[in-house]
Amino acid sequence: MATINKLKSGSWRAQVRRNGQYASSTFRAQADAQRWARDIERRVDLGQTIGAAVGPNPTTLAEAIELHIADMCEVGRAPRRSKAYCLDKLKSSLGRVKLNAMTRECLISYARRRAANGAGPATISMELGYIRTVLVHASAVHGIAISPEPVDLARVALKRLGLVGKGQERCRRPSPDELDRILTHLENKLRQTIPVARIVRFAVATGLRHETASRLFEAGYQIPEVALVTGHKDWKMLRRYTNLKAEDLAMRKPRTERLRAS
């Protein structure tokens, strides 16, 4: 008889005890747990031997994604918002594809469609990365006979076609005039009860990361000092926020001179 219980993590654990045999597994969706339990019971009724190690056998990418999410939730590492959103998109677009049909050609065709619909190289690269993560998880954790090699081969081909790559660094900052117009607009909203303009001023000065880091550099602070405010552990990441120009260096006084003047 099958027993299905909801865990604190939100996942569902299915346990089957039938004719002296036992098997259990965990799923994110209750329907998946029920389907697996019925399959195990059918196998026992057919005289097949099962054991506690018997687990799910996903056949489609959607099922492999659900298995990956369930396992991560069970250990307290549920996918965060961006990853969860991407996995849901993959389920809707590629979910019905059989794992044994997840070939290099299939993935290249998918990437071409995504690019035609406006997805950029960084987005497509991220999606391929998540597909690979799901396949590796199914193989390493559950022993599913699936290889991530088609993803690696597809990535090589797509990189040469310019369809995958890194995102472009954005250095656009609002000008003082643009900030003034934004703040003026917010201050003139009479029905607004939340002091949004003051919140924006505070955020710009203390923690919208690009703008804050740039302003700190413009004020003459050094990388270690700026890192204390922004929380960057890798100082290399702060280089994109410096936005230094030769004319700025020529006009800037050495810090020791500023200290003497003060």
Inside any domain, residue 210: yes
Which amino acid, 155? R
Inside any domain, residue 26: yes
What number is the average pLDDT over the span 139-162? Answer: 91
Q: Residue 83's domain spans which residues? A: 61-160
Query: Residue 22 pairs with which residues in a beta bridge?
Result: 17
> HSE of 148 in the Cβ direction (CA atoms, 13 Å)?
16
132 with 193, same domain?
no
d(CA 11, CA 29): 7
pLDDT(256) > 50: no
Describe the chain by its helix, strand, coil percentages, rounded to 5: 60, 10, 35
More confident residue, 212 or 90: 90
d(CA 107, CA 129): 12
| Token couple for 262 | 């003060």
d(CA 260, CA 87): 57
13 with 98, same domain?
no
Number of domains in the chain: 3
Contact 127, 91 (CB under 8 A): no
> HSE of 90 in the Cβ direction (CA atoms, 13 Å)?
30
Position 171 confidence tier, pLDDT thresholds 50, 70, 90: low
pLDDT score for 155? 96
Segment 22-37, tens digit of pLDDT: 788 888 788 888 988 8
Segment 34-51, tens digit of pLDDT: 988 898 898 888 888 776
pLDDT score for 241? 64
Question: Which of 5-9, 129-133, 206-210 has the largest mean confidence?
Answer: 129-133
226 with 256, same domain?
yes
Inside any domain, residue 165: no
d(CA 95, CA 59): 10
184 with 236, same domain?
yes
Inside any domain, residue 145: yes
What number is the average pLDDT over the span 232-243? Answer: 69
Position 148 confidence tier, pLDDT thresholds 50, 70, 90: very high
121 with 151, same domain?
yes
More confident residue, 209 or 164: 164
89 with 139, same domain?
yes
Inside any domain, residue 56: no
More confident residue, 179 or 207: 179
133 with 75, same domain?
yes
Residue at which a domain ends, from 110, 129, 160:
160
Inside any domain, residue 18: yes
19 Cβ neighbours under 8 A, 6+ residues apart: 44
